[in-house]
Amino acid sequence: MEAIIRPYHPTDIGACRALWAKLTQAHRDLYEDQTIGGETPDVWFDWHLSDPRLAGLWVAEVEGQVVGMVGLLIEGEEGEIEPLVVAKGHRHQGVGSQLLNHAVREARKPGLRFLSVRPVARNAAAIALFVEAGFRLLGRIELFQEMDPSSARLYPLRTVRPRSKGLP
């Protein structure tokens, strides 16, 4: 599917807030924790817009409808893709790759030293997409321990193995 990738415009705020909320819901589902993102996760998109590191935000449009977005954060010589989200009905059709490729091209312009992505550990599809797009250097691993076992958050251990070409 060929999408039109264009810069974010303030009139896209409703669609982008909805995409942010859907991304949050996907994280909630992956971690079986409906509290992630709080009661109104879509408003975190507004915070993202105010991030001084935000160097670019683009949307994917199909038949006049915003179906995805990608952002580029820059700090010094390093950039980060954040977020990359595609509406459920348009996934696995190349829209995410188009958005990612666009953001990578834009990240080359200021001559960044590194460009990173930080998909959640359980999102095997996102990890595979990023590896296929050339993100193969491991920057960090984050492990954590639940300090209050009586809390409502439960993170059962799962092994995620992305199916992707190019993994060492």
- Return the closest-CA partner of residue 100 out of 114, 81, 80, 127: 81
Residue 110 has pLDDT above 70, yes or no: yes
Residue-wise pLDDT tens digits, 52-73: 999 999 999 999 999 999 999 9
Between the alpha carbon of residue 119 and those of residues 7, 62, 63, 140, 152, the distances in Å are 23, 24, 28, 12, 23
The hierarchical CATH code for the domain 4-132 is 3.40.630.30
Whether 130 shows a pLDDT value over 70: the answer reads yes
- Rounded Cα distance between 74 and 64, Å, is 29
Which helix or strand (DSSP H or E) is residue 57 part of?
strand 54-62
- The reported pTM is 0.83
The two tokens of residue 46 are 């507004």
Sign of the four-CA dihedral 83, 128, 92, 1: positive
Nearest to 70 by CA among 32, 132, 128, 115: 115
pLDDT tens-digit profile of 26-48?
999 988 889 999 999 989 999 99
For CA atoms 38, 156, 90, 114, the dihedral sign is positive
